[in-house]
Structure formats: C-alpha cells, structure tokens
C-alpha cells in the first residue's frame, strides 16, 4: 500500500470512531471510554508515522510552501495530542463537558484530515514518485504495527 492510501485508510478509521463517539449519550460511559481508548491508539500510531516518515519526506521533496504545510500539520497534531485529547480523557464520560470536548476534537480532526487530503496529499503525489510513495507506505505500515504494540504494552503495564 502506498503512503497516501495508508494514511487515508487511517483517516477513515478515525472519522468512524469520531462518528461513533458523537452518537453516544451521557449514559454510554463504558462505550465512550472504549472509543476514546481506540481513538487514542489510532491517533498515536497515525501521527507518529506521519511525523517520523511521511512529513519529512514531503518537506524534503518540496519547497517553502511545503515546509509551511509541514509545520502547520505538526502544530495541529500537537494541539490534539497535547491539549484536547488529554483533557477529554480526564473528563468524566457522563458529563456534558465530555460531549463538548468530544465535539471540539472531532472538528479539529475533521479540519486536519480535510486539509491533508485536499492539499498536502495532492502536493505529495506531485513531489514524490509512485515508487517513493510505495516505499514510504511499507516503512509506515511496519512502524505503525510497532507503535500500536508499544502503546498496548504500556497500557497493560499501567
């Protein structure tokens, strides 16, 4: 699978989890916790493979415009990973506050995904060859499996 197809498949998984989360009510405590855990796992692996493998290749192949997009995407990841998701995880799943924070997370991720798919991925397709995208995809797939296993191990140890 090439890098862009892999990332788009990840986006579909994340968007599906977000839809499921927004469809829950304050009474669905267990379901909300399960969905947040799944979402965290998917986002952890996805953002790492983007930041470690895909984004650097994209930035290197591009110019100033791609460098700006690279740094914007990194900041969007940071906003979700360091601010919104941790606060959501510490929020009581039966609260209205949880619903509000979940909505903000969904909106941020939808914006990020749309921007990547409409701009960054299109630029990457013109900057990187099909062979490069396939090689990146292979590296990203292997790293993603490793990252998911690491996070699951950390959860078991905690």
Output DSSP code: residue 91: S
pLDDT attached to residue 13 = 98
pLDDT in tens, 111-153: 999 999 999 999 999 999 999 999 999 999 999 999 999 999 9
- Domain total of the chain: 1
Burial track 24-51 (b if 16+ CB lie within 10 A, e otherwise): beeebeeebebbbebbbbbbbbbbbbbb
Rounded to 5 degrees, φ, ψ at 25 are -110, 175
pLDDT attached to residue 85 = 95
pLDDT attached to residue 77 = 96
pLDDT attached to residue 158 = 80
pLDDT attached to residue 135 = 98
CB of 122 within 8 A of CB of 62?
no
CATH assignment at residue 30? 1.20.120.520
CB of 93 within 8 A of CB of 34?
no
Question: Which domain does 42 fall in, by range?
Answer: 3-157
Give the helix ranges, DSSP H, for the chain: 3-22, 29-49, 55-61, 64-78, 85-89, 96-115, 121-127, 130-157
Residues of the chain with pLDDT under 50: none
């Amino acid at each position: 699978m090439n890098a862009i197809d892999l990332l788009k498949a990840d986006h579909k998984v994340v968007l599906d989890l977000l839809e499921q989360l927004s469809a829950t009510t304050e009474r669905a405590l267990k379901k909300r916790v399960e969905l947040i855990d799944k979402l965290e796992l998917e986002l952890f692996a996805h953002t790492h493979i983007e930041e470690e493998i895909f984004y650097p290749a994209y930035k290197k192949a591009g110019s100033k415009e791609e460098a700006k997009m690279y740094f914007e995407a990194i900041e969007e990841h940071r906003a979700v990973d360091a601010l919104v998701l941790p606060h959501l995880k510490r929020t009581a799943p039966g609260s209205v506050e949880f619903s509000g924070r979940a909505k903000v997370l969904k909106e941020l991720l939808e914006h990020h995904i749309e921007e990547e798919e409409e701009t960054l991925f299109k630029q990457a397709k013109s900057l990187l060859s099909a062979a490069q995208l396939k090689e990146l995809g292979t590296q990203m797939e292997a790293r993603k499996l490793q990252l998911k296993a690491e996070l699951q191990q950390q959860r078991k140890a905690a």
